[in-house]
Amino acid sequence: MALYISSELMQQIQAHGEAAYPEEGAGLLLGIARQADRHVFDLQVFDNAREDGARHNRYLLTSQDYLAGELEAARLGLSVIGVFHSHPDHPDRPSEFDREWAMPWFSYIITSVQSGRAVSSRSWHLKEDRSQFEEELIQITDGTLAQLSDDKQAR
């Protein structure tokens, strides 16, 4: 199980976490899911819709955010395959709150932002029985659909 993403998109995710600091930043991963692997080709970045007092340790993407993400993914011939968010001054691993609200068919990239600087990012996938997250290996690629097509032909 791996998540393939370009260094440019990973940098955008980390920059969004830094810009949102000391609050959580969040958005959607657009791409293609192929068996256990996911390939990210675009992002939808959103403002944290959580109430003011809770944004430091919670994010909220609204139904309108998800709809906008679905529409953009469809326009690009992709799907919404996951969520990214930041953990200000906390590790890049899921909280119990993250587990309670996660969906097993999504990947979750979490970026640890310490004192305003992104220090690490990890990806997670919720088990089907919702009992726990399993870490997904992040593979940095050139992030093009052509590369995915070339990989498919090579197999």
What per-residue confidence (pLDDT) applies to 35? 86
28 token code pair: 């959607």
The upper half-sphere exposure of residue 84, i.e. CA atoms within 13 Å in the direction of its Cβ, equals 32
Confidence of residue 33 (pLDDT cuts 50, 70, 90): very high
- Rounded CA separation 31/42 (Å): 7
Locate the domains of the chain by residue range: 2-154
What per-residue confidence (pLDDT) applies to 143? 58
| Angle, CA of 67, 95 and 91, to the nearest 5° | 105
**Percent of the chain's residues with pLDDT above 90:** 83
104 token code pair: 């097993």
Q: Which CATH superfamily is domain 2-154 in?
A: Cytidine Deaminase, domain 2 (3.40.140.10)
- Rounded CA separation 75/81 (Å): 15
What per-residue confidence (pLDDT) applies to 147? 55
pLDDT at residue 119 is higher than 90: yes
Q: What does the pLDDT look like over 76-86, one tens digit per residue? A: 999 999 999 99
Per-residue pLDDT, averaged over 26-39, amounts to 95
Q: 133: closest CA among 108, 152, 112, 113?
A: 108
Omega prior to 88 cis, within 30 of 0: no
